[in-house]
């Protein structure tokens, strides 16, 4: 599922904050803490926006998703994008090894296959947290409020190979600008933004923003009855 993690891609929440000071933690210590704290979460709400995506004539290509994930393998979301090149607004459900899409015409659930999976999202080796750890040239660019949470803002670079397992792009050494927001008090990843192309067919102004919230809430996701 190209562009899901989502993917990883949502409008940025909150405004700019203050600059960093000598008492702030280092980017490396922020990354180390968020890898532990975010990796311990069992559920979360996500919102993804993909701006200026590459055209796609096959499979499911998302420009928007808003839903919930239960680690390690369940997801439900309202989505928008294209399916086999046709614009759609619908719903998807991942339940273990099965993926379902609500046919916008028949209103029946149908199974489909995808190259990405929510299992990969929190994979220690291939998920978003591995991507955060793989970011280079990280600098602390002060703080800002994301979803009502004061967060450290890290800026740096991220290679396309670090996000291919959950965004569906071809792995390569192509770099995009990365912005990572991490809650000051709880150490949780609040937002990840990639600006620039991560695939050869994408425009220079491609952008993906993933926002996370509502961690560890009780969420039940069941497979729908396929039509």
Tally of CB atoms within 10 A around 194: 27
- pLDDT at position 117 is 56
Span of 46-60, 88-102, 162-176 with lowest mean pLDDT: 46-60
- pLDDT at position 25 is 96
Strands 109-111 and 86-95: unpaired
- pLDDT at position 9 is 30
Judge whether 99 and 111 are in contact, CB under 8 Å. yes
Judge whether 193 and 209 are in contact, CB under 8 Å. yes
Tally of CB atoms within 10 A around 86: 10
- pLDDT at position 14 is 28
- pLDDT at position 15 is 31
Which residues does 71 contact at the CB level (< 8 Å), separation at least 6?
A: 41, 42, 43, 118, 121, 122
Work out the mean pLDDT of the chain and round it to a whole number.
83
- pLDDT at position 1 is 43
Which residue did the predictor score with more confidence, 59 or 8?
A: 59
Two tokens at 13? Answer: 């929440």
Is it the case that residue 222 has pLDDT exceeding 50?
yes
- Calculate mean pLDDT across residues 2-16: 33
Tell me the pLDDT tens digit for each residue of 79-134.
Answer: 998 877 888 899 999 998 888 999 988 999 999 876 555 556 655 556 788 889 99
Tell me the pLDDT tens digit for each residue of 154-164.
Answer: 999 999 998 88
Judge whether 137 and 156 are in contact, CB under 8 Å. yes
- 53 band by pLDDT with thresholds 50, 70 and 90: confident
Q: What is the length of the chain?
A: 227
């Amino acid at each position: 599922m190209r562009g899901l993690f989502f993917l990883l891609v949502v409008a940025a929440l909150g405004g700019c904050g203050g600059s960093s000071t000598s008492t702030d933690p280092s980017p490396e210590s922020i990354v180390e803490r968020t890898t532990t704290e975010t990796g311990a979460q069992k559920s979360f709400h996500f919102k993804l926006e993909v701006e200026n995506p590459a055209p796609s004539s096959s499979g499911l290509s998302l420009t928007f998703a808003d839903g919930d994930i239960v680690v390690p393998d369940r997801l439900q979301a309202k989505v928008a994008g294209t399916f086999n090149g046709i614009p759609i607004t619908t719903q998807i459900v991942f339940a273990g090894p099965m993926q379902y899409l609500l046919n916008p015409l028949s209103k029946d659930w149908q199974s489909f296959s995808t190259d990405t999976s929510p299992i990969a999202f929190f994979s220690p080796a291939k998920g978003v947290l591995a991507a955060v750890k793989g970011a280079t040239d990280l600098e602390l660019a002060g703080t800002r409020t994301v979803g009502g949470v004061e967060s450290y803002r890290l800026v740096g670079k991220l290679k396309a190979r670090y996000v291919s397992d959950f965004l569906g792009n071809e792995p390569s050494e192509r770099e995009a600008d990365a912005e990572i927001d991490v809650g000051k008090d709880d150490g949780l990843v609040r937002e990840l933004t990639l600006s620039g192309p991560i695939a050869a067919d994408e425009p220079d102004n491609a952008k993906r923003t993933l926002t996370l919230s509502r961690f560890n809430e009780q969420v039940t996701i069941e497979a729908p009855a396929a039509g």
